[in-house]
A and B are shown apart, each in its own frame.
Chain A
Amino acid sequence: MNTALLAAGGTTSLQPPGIYQGAANVIAALMLLLEFGMLRQALIRDQVRLYAAQSALISVLAIVIAADRGLPDLYALAGLSGALKVVVVPLVLRRLLGVPVDEDSPGVAGSYTLSPASAVLASIGLAAFGFFTFGAFHISGPAAPALALAIAGAMVFVAFGLMIVRRDVASQAVGFFSLENAISLAALVVAAGLPLILETAFLFDLLVAVVVFGMLIRTHHGRAESLSTADLTGLRG
């Protein structure tokens, strides 16, 4: 009696994916969680750290996909992307934000339009929308099932949410960089075979964008004596 009932109720579930797909899904889910983490973090220094962790995850995913599909190009890409986005970009950001090296000082906190809890709840809605929209396309690459692309879609929306909800230039910039991360995730899922030279060009382009963003943050900071965008209301109509 017992086993019969168990058999009737159990394992109507979907079969778990294979090792590589599972790893890709887990990494994508972790990246999404880090995105939410960035949403909740008050201190900009911690946001940058989360961004570095997210970029590290992208490199790991690139290695996983390279191992799964035998694309040696992706190993090089993983290394380059890791060096650039995990090391150089956070370094540049922290330098430009003038964050003190002394770890004891709390650093700069960003400002919100919504409280963190409400922001998370609103972003859950955004993520759901992105998730189901992208999932409905049933586009899947050979390396990862449709789930990873759906998670990338959710991440894109949450990154936009991050840019909307936060009211200071540094958080908005970090939001934009995590948007690039989300798009890189989608690219890895769907376009893993893109020639290396193009991917490298994308990466260097990102670096230049970081520098320019940093310069503009500096300009803003110099003018307004704060990082807040609450006063950027002069140009209207």
Chain B
Amino acid sequence: MLAVFLVILILPLATGVISFTVPARAAALATVVSGVASFALVLSLVPEAAHGDLSFLSGYLRADALSVIFLLATGFLYAAVAVYAVGYTRHHDATYARRFYAGFNAFAWAMLAAPLMGSLALLWIAVEVTTIISALLVAIGDTDGAAEAAWKYVLIASAGLGLALLATVFAYYAGAQVLGQHYNLAIQPLIQAGSRLPQTPVRLAFLLAVLGYGTKVGLFPVHTWLPDAHSEAPTPVSALLSGSLLAVSFYAILRFYQVAAASLGSGFPRDTLLAFGIASLLLASLYVFGQRDVKRLLAYSSVEHMGICAIGVSFGAPVALAGVLLHVMAHAAAKGNAFMGAGVFTVKYGSKQMSAMRDGMRLLPWSGPLFLLAIFALSALPPSGIFRSEFQIVAGGLGSGSYTAAAVLVVLVTVVFFGLTASATGMLLYTPGGATHRDPPAHRGAPRVPPGVRGEPSAWMVVPVLAGLAVLLVLGLHPPGELTDLISRGATQLGSP
């Protein structure tokens, strides 16, 4: 098992380093191999983690059910997007491709490493590394928008992580009071010492962690970098940012939540998460209307889903917590699909503006319907996994007495559904010259591809979406037994210390 850990930790990084030196095609192939292998290795951890915790190197490397769920989300996207990127980087030159693959693998490495870290300090470092690498990846496309988005992203996210570091310091202080001055910020002992920890530092640490790591999760009001970064990054990177990075940062918040719940009881942590969750959901539901850029639209959808996760945790009922964990995985698949589909559209129509995209169903015989299905999945239509998870969350909310919050959640999710489908319908079903002349043709740079050329840009960009769809269906209809065990174990860990 230690070998599995080490391979997961080393393989993506090695691939990233190699990608600098080998030709682009080899780098692409290596990335695909690395992605699929990592995902397979993570899958192999599932049976073990469903029944017990794995810990090596005196607790510095640790995987329990909670970690493995987030690893699954990252691992799947790593594999799927690696395949997708083969088709995507065909349209760019070799230097770009090399830099892209190096960054991509390093990014995936950092995101895979974070849930395996058994110490809050190493967790912070891993998340900081993801920030730094992803900032470079956002800037890799050489446009004004990318440079602006990258600067905003790195500044805001790093400032937020500064707050998270402060939270880690206070967590150390609280832990050191009970566990001794040379306490190394290991998570498990801290949770177990929960009720003996001094309350004020823990409260402060939790609040700072929600604000600080919440910057990277995209919670209101520190989400402002998110639409810019996710829309200006190259599509594979956007998929990973939305599907995995937000989740990994949320994982960090969940660790602090465990400590806070163990020490303060569940009142204060849940109220905090509820407040931030509802605010994020409200903001997202308002902003999905009136979006012109398809990736920006999807970015706000990510804000919405992270808000839903936060609200789900705040409900506290076991079924709600199970819903949250399922949601993390299903959202990764669905958001990955959506971004990958949006990427195909961008390549096909030469622009990110939705006003330039028309008649998608006819022109993109595979990606069009798949994109529509992804949008439906994001809006929680059955039988996608997201429907199941949101259903569980709402059921948990109603069961634990948070009627208002559950009702607000349902209403706002419906609002977002309207926003998303309205835009998607425009892209897929309207024909040019239809009822859409209101939209101005202005967009950045690229000339409009004349309509009528039917065909997919690349098969590499379709297959991963099919895989994602399959995952969504499996998660929605009949999650495998091991996975359900894993989720329920994770929910138990979250619910009671």
Contact = CB atoms under 8 A, between A and B. Distances in A.
Q: CB atoms of A and B under 8 A apart anywhere in the complex?
A: yes
B119 A209 contact: no
A234 interface: yes
B165 A183 contact: yes
Given A190-B170, A237-B296, 13 more contacts: A137-B201, A137-B204, A139-B201, A179-B162, A201-B122, A202-B165, A205-B125, A205-B128, A205-B129, A216-B154, A219-B150, A220-B147, A235-B148
A53 to B, nearest CB: 20
Interface of A: 137-139, 141, 156, 160, 163, 169, 172-173, 176, 179-180, 183, 186-187, 190-195, 198, 201-202, 205, 208-209, 212-213, 215-216, 219-220, 223-224, 229, 232, 234-235, 237
Q: Lowest 9 A-B CB distances belong to which pairs?
A: A193-B181, A191-B172, A198-B121, A235-B228, A190-B173, A232-B148, A187-B169, A212-B132, A179-B162
B421 interface: no
Interface string B433-467: 00000000000000000000000000000000000
Contacts of A172: 155
A223 B146 CA distance: 11
Contacts of B128: 205, 209
Given A198-B122, A216-B154, A235-B232, A176 B145 contact: no
Contacts of A224: 144, 147
Contacts of B165: 180, 183, 187, 202
Interface in B151-175: 151-152, 154-155, 158-159, 162, 165-166, 169-170, 172-173
Nearest to B164: A183
Contact of A208 (B132, B144, B201): B132
B291 interface: yes
Nearest to A191: B172
A223 B147 contact: yes
Contact of A219 (B147, B201, B231, B291): B147
A169 B150 CA distance: 12
B125 A234 contact: no
5 contacts: A160-B159, A172-B155, A176-B155, A198-B121, A237-B290
Contact of A176 (B159, B169, B173, B176): B159
Given A198-B184, A220-B151, A235 B145 contact: yes
A212 B135 contact: yes
A198 B185 CA distance: 9
Given A194-B172, A198-B119, A229 B151 contact: yes
Interface of B: 119, 121-122, 125, 128-129, 132, 135-136, 139, 144-145, 147-152, 154-155, 158-159, 162, 165-166, 169-170, 172-173, 176, 181-185, 200-201, 204, 227-228, 231-232, 287, 290-291, 296
Contacts of B145: 234-235
Given A183-B162, A198-B121, A139 B291 contact: no
Contacts of A234: 144-145, 148
B211 to A, nearest CB: 12
B210 to A, nearest CB: 17
Given A172-B155, A201-B121, A194 B139 contact: no
A90 B32 CA distance: 40
Contacts of B150: 216, 219
A209 B158 contact: yes
A205 B125 CA distance: 7
Contacts of B132: 208-209, 212
Contacts of A183: 162, 165-166, 169
A188 B158 CA distance: 20
B154 A213 contact: yes
A23 to B, nearest CB: 21
A190 B169 contact: yes
A216 B135 contact: yes
Contacts of B232: 235
Contacts of A163: 155, 159
Contacts of A187: 165, 169, 172
A235 B154 contact: no
Contacts of B184: 194-195, 198
Nearest to A190: B173
Contacts of A194: 121, 172, 184-185
